[in-house]
Amino acid sequence: MSKIELQELTKKYRLKLALDSVSLTLEKGHIYGLLGRNGAGKTTLCSLIANRDFPTSGKVLLDGEKLKENDALLKKVYCMGAEDLLPNYMRVRDVIASMKYFYLKSAANYALSLCDQFRLDPKKRLSQLSTGYRTIAKVIFAMSSGADFIFLDEPTLGLDANHRELLYKLILERFEETGAAFVISTHLIDECAGLFERCFVLREGKLIADEDSDTLRRSAYAVEGKTEAVDAYCQGREVLSRSAVGTLCSACVKGEPDDAIPAGLEISQPGLQQLLIALTGGEG
Amino acid sequence: MRDYIRYVLRGREGLRSYLVLLATVLGSLFAVHMLLLGVLIADKFNDRIDLLIYEILGSAGAAIGYAMLTDRLLKIAVSSGVSRKAFLHGTAYLGPLFALITTAAITLFFLITDGIYHLSGNGLSNIGISLYYERSYLSVYAPRVVIFSLTALFSLILYLYSYGLLFVAFRNRFNNMPAGVIVTGIIFTLCHGLVLGTVAVLLLDKISLRLDPEWLAEQMQYGILLDDTFRSDVCVLAEAAVVWYLLVYGIFVLMMRRVPVRGKEKEGAI
């Protein structure tokens, strides 16, 4: 199975360490979630893999070979970034037509059918598109590229609920059809949670979680109740986050709940988004 | 690299958009020539006139277009799985190729304009010969003059392209502002200030300074009359331009080989 390996990938900007020794593996045939707060390093990670930027140290390997500046391997990776790299005056259909020069397996007809489904006029210039439709256009370019590894950075930016639902459906269909690896970086975690098989969580440039979604969800639990009771329960346990409203308090505790739950406390399984908030430093 | 070159030559955003831009520039200059012709006819002026509009403004417009295209192509290529290595290799070939095409296009516009001027009893000076003080010795359509003219024009375009490449390199490394200042500074220094004379004359003068000044200056003025040195004249002109282009291209490679590619909206995004 084709795979991308990141080995000790570090990216340092002048004033900020954007990525700190990140090592992970992406295999073809899976859908991954790349999660983290704003500025956690998700976009940088995608840029480094797609050869748009260069790491300060570390390397990216595709099937054991260095991906950096390797034309044959770069064709197997497509990165849809939140930023606009294509000239604004280009028409959607021109971009679709140009894909064939770079990606041999690109599917122009499929791209046009996606335009149809999203009601995107392919004759329109990129500059004429709203934020949402610009995102849709970029997603269409990515999905029709035929690449083995498709990175979608903020694929829901500006999309309404209907289009988001359609997007999730199409990602799953395309995934089943091609078996390509999808790496989705998004802030709408609960909406996308069902798609992710495995999640990578970044916090201030560090990879703090690399687990399959179910394991990650089970790695913590939420305790709710009166503040004194919750605080007493949390004594000696690793608390990921804690928030109190009036006399009530809720805490996210790492590990699995034990059998002895004190009376007055409620235990529940946190959603992926709640867990991520807890893992990445709580609210605010 | 083949995919990249194929895209530039056959795709939408490569040669095709460059030709559209070039046609727009040359078309505008053609319109300017027609206006001037109207003035000449009204003044009952009947002679060959020295107009370097096509060479200077045409080449400058072409170089700006080339720089814009190169900058766009970098982003398109890198976001489409093309390595910088392939992009840079491609640029090395595409520069001279585009310069040749531009030379042909400018010459074509020149010939059409000259033909129209002839119909009214006027005429334009030949491109290359207008750079000579002794131009009256030769017919402007003598084959060797034409060849020399084409070489001079090609050299000038290549020169201007190299400044375009420098601008793109500085723009991507720093920003538009420092790029503009630096490249203008370089051109100003190398050409002793554009305001002092035409770009063409000063750039060609610069070629002669870079090689053997006295010998070349002599060739530039009189060499064209001598059959046995004519070939070397043409070669020296083209060689000097190509060497300069390659030198600047080397700087371009050094500056661009690790340049990050980012979009406008989220520049510096983490």
pLDDT tens column, B19-42: 999 999 999 999 998 988 888 888
Going residue by residue through chain A, which has 284 residues, state the pLDDT in tens, using 9 for 90 and above. Answer: 899 999 999 999 888 899 999 999 999 999 999 998 888 899 999 999 999 999 999 999 999 999 988 999 999 999 998 788 888 889 999 999 999 999 988 889 999 999 999 999 999 999 999 999 999 999 999 999 999 999 999 998 889 999 999 999 999 999 999 999 999 998 888 888 888 999 999 998 999 889 888 888 888 888 899 988 888 888 888 888 888 888 898 888 888 887 777 888 888 888 888 888 888 876 55
Overall average pLDDT of the B105-131 stretch: 76
Residue A35 lies in a domain: yes
A160, A183, A215 — which closes off a domain? A215
- To 10 degrees, the CA torsion angle through B127, B133, B138, B142? -20
Shortest distance between the Cα of B83 and any Cα of chain A, in A, equals: 5
Pair (A43, A173) in one structural domain: yes
Average pLDDT, chain B: 76
Domain that holds residue A170: 3-215
Pair (A146, A247) in one structural domain: no
Q: Does A70 touch chain B (CB under 8 A)?
A: yes
Pair (A160, A204) in one structural domain: yes
pLDDT of residue A8: 93
Residue A53 lies in a domain: yes
- If you ran DSSP here, which 8-state letter would residue B83 be given? -
**Percent of chain B beyond pLDDT 70?**
69
**Contact check, Cβ <8 Å, A51/B83:** yes
Query: B107: which residues sit within 8 A by CB, 6+ positions away?
Result: B127, B149, B150, B153
Per-residue pLDDT band for B129 (boundaries 50, 70, 90) equals: very low
Pair (A50, A152) in one structural domain: yes
pLDDT of residue B189: 62
Overall average pLDDT of the B90-105 stretch: 93
pLDDT of residue B190: 62
Pair (A188, A254) in one structural domain: no
pLDDT of residue B50: 65
pLDDT greater than 70 at residue B226: no
Interface of B with A in 77-96 (CB under 8 A): 78-86
Pair (A67, A182) in one structural domain: yes
**CB-based contact A217:A272 (threshold 8 Å):** yes
B-chain residues near A47 (CB < 8 A): 260, 262
Pair (A32, A148) in one structural domain: yes
Pair (A83, A195) in one structural domain: yes
Residue A67 lies in a domain: yes
Pair (A205, A225) in one structural domain: no
Domain borders along chain B are 2-256
A190, A215, A240 — which closes off a domain? A215
pLDDT of residue B232: 58
- To 10 degrees, the CA torsion angle through B117, B122, B126, B127? -60
**Cα–Cα distance for residue pair A89/A91, rounded to 1 Å:** 6
pLDDT tens column, B233-244: 667 777 778 888
Residue A284 lies in a domain: no
Nearest to B266 among A74, A77, A83 (CB): A83
Pair (A192, A101) in one structural domain: yes
Residue A231 lies in a domain: yes
Overall average pLDDT of the B91-111 stretch: 92
Pair (A210, A223) in one structural domain: no
pLDDT of residue B130: 42
Among chain A residues, the shortest Cα distance to B88 is held by A69
pLDDT of residue A133: 93
Helix H or strand E segment including A62: strand A57-62
Q: How many domains does chain A have?
A: 2
Overall average pLDDT of the B241-264 stretch: 86
**B132 or A227: which leads in pLDDT:** A227
Closest CA to B26 of B49, B60, B71: B60
A224: tokens are 């709710």
**Cα–Cα distance for residue pair B68/B47, rounded to 1 Å:** 38
**CB-based contact A215:A180 (threshold 8 Å):** no
**Contact check, Cβ <8 Å, B263/A83:** yes
A229: domain CATH number is: 3.30.70
**Contact check, Cβ <8 Å, B7/A101:** yes
**Cα–Cα distance for residue pair A174/B136, rounded to 1 Å:** 72
A215, A236, A268 — which closes off a domain? A215
DSSP-derived pairing of the beta strands A77-80 and A149-153 = parallel
**Cα–Cα distance for residue pair A58/A238, rounded to 1 Å:** 32
**Contact check, Cβ <8 Å, B13/A98:** yes
Pair (A128, A208) in one structural domain: yes
Query: A112: which residues sit within 8 A by CB, 6+ positions away?
Result: A93, A96, A122
